[in-house]
């Protein structure tokens, strides 16, 4: 009887551990976002998040159903650690609910933006792939600038039929004016990214709070078939846009570009903040 009890207890422990590992895998391999543009993405031992329009990349710990954001730094020769804790209330492949359970005063933080993390009593997130906002685009124009390093400066325009106009400038390869055409599969991938990037909400509701001076500036201009326009200028973009910028910055790897016989007239931004000179 005792052996049977031990076997039952062991099977329960194994089952709980298996469920915990499965939940942790779902958590760390999924991009999470909600309609307020709160966002979480895990990358190895780091977490990139955006809460209340406040963006940070920090370390994290995950144990059972406890998630903590951590930042280590040195102050006056001493190593310091700041930590903000959440309880995972619910998780499945499509939905995540976390509850702030931090016991420290927000004023005790120097590095972590605790006031943004503690703004809500609980946060409800959805799998990025399930929170769709369709973008019926006619043309997509993208400009990127240089930075203090070797960030490539380029302009890209993609039409709905897949036609690509490209101009590579400082630190960009190839350099010069080119033209090409995306395959149907690449157009599908681009539409998939666009429909999951919350562009309309970012255009209307998101404001960059940080004041960076060492990062490239990105401009997105999306002309829609209904005559509306989405326009975003930033040098510290919302992290949900990272897949879109990665697609556009690597356009030369997705399409066979040929030298253009004439220079293309790329659409320019009408927004003044973080505007890229053409």
Buried (b) or exposed (e) across 204-218, using 16+ Cβ within 10 A? Answer: eebebeeeeeebbbb
**Model confidence pLDDT, tens digit, residues 53-74:** 999 999 999 998 999 999 999 8
Q: Which pLDDT belongs to residue 14? A: 43
Of 167, 171, 175, nearest in space to 143 by CA: 167
Q: State the pTM of this model.
A: 0.89
* Distance (Å, whole) CA 185 – CA 143: 23
* Distance (Å, whole) CA 212 – CA 236: 7
Q: Which pLDDT belongs to residue 12? A: 39
Q: Which pLDDT belongs to residue 273? A: 82
**Model confidence pLDDT, tens digit, residues 84-132:** 999 999 999 999 999 999 777 777 888 899 999 999 999 999 999 999 9
In the sheet where 176-181 sits, what is the strand order?
229-234, 218-224, 137-144, 154-159, 163-168, 176-181, 258-259
What confidence category does residue 276 fall into, taking pLDDT thresholds of 50, 70 and 90? confident
**Model confidence pLDDT, tens digit, residues 194-222:** 999 999 999 999 989 888 778 999 999 99
């Amino acid at each position: 009887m005792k052996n049977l009890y031990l076997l039952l207890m062991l099977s329960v422990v194994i089952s709980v551990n298996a469920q915990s590992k499965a939940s942790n895998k779902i958590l760390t391999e999924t991009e999470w976002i909600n309609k307020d543009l709160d966002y979480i993405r895990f990358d190895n031992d780091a977490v990139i998040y955006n809460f209340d329009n406040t963006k940070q990349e920090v370390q994290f710990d995950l144990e059972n159903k406890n998630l903590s954001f951590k930042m280590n730094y040195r102050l006056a020769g001493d190593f310091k650690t700041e930590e903000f804790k959440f309880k995972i209330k619910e998780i499945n492949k499509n939905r995540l609910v976390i509850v702030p359970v931090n016991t420290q005063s927000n004023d005790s933080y120097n590095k972590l933006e605790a006031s943004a993390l503690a703004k809500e009593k609980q946060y409800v997130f959805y799998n990025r792939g399930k929170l769709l906002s369709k973008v019926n685009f006619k043309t997509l124009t993208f400009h990127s600038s240089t930075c203090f390093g070797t960030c490539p400066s380029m302009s890209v325009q993609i039409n709905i039929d897949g036609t690509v106009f490209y101009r590579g400038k400082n630190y960009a390869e190839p350099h010069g004016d080119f033209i090409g055409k995306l395959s149907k599969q690449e157009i599908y991938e681009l539409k998939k990214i666009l429909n999951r990037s919350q562009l309309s909400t970012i255009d209307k509701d998101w404001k960059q709070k940080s004041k960076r001076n060492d990062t490239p500036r990105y401009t997105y201009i999306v002309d829609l078939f209904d005559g509306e326009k989405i326009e975003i200028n930033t040098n510290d973009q919302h992290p949900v846009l990272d897949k879109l910028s990665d697609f556009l910055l690597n356009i030369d790897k997705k399409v066979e570009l040929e030298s253009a016989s004439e220079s293309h007239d790329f659409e320019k931004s009408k927004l003044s903040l973080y505007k890229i000179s053409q």
